[in-house]
Amino acid sequence: MGAVVAMLHAGLRCAFPARQVLSAEGGPAPERGARLWGDTGLDRATAAAAEPAARCVRVATGGGPRAIACSHPRLAQVDRERVWPLPELLADVLRLPHVVGLAEIDGALHWVIDARRLPADGA
């Protein structure tokens, strides 16, 4: 897979291919920033335990640049042997087309996100 930007979004580990990241900023994302997990993809206990997003990463999507609130963004290298596509059944259950797989980064599993599949604003 190569270079990815690994981060925490709403308390959950995720990673984007580095080529999809346009910039990283020191402040939180605007209120209309992208929410990767939607309203139903994240239980309330996990959301409440998540530390506040202290950073903003802008990614290139099919609908134009989008801001994503996160904490602890960092550049990491991932070997193809440590990346697994999302099983079709799990993809159907999640109903999050931008979540495309799992990757092991530094011994922890991360959701692999394809920013090009993020829904447009207001969708």
State pLDDT tens for residues 58-105. Answer: 999 888 899 998 988 999 999 999 999 999 999 899 899 999 999 999
- Measuring CA to CA, how many Å separate 66 from each of 57, 58, 69, 89, 109? 8, 5, 10, 28, 24
Give residue 26's pLDDT. 84
pTM of this structure: 0.83
> Which one-letter amino acid corresponds to residue 41?
G
State pLDDT tens for residues 22-38. Answer: 998 887 766 667 888 87
SS3 annotation, 67-80: EEEEEEEEEEEECH
Listed in sequence order, the residues at least 6 apart from 105 whose beta carbon sits closer than 8 Å to its beta carbon are 4, 6, 13, 15, 76, 78, 82
Domain ranges in the chain are 2-117
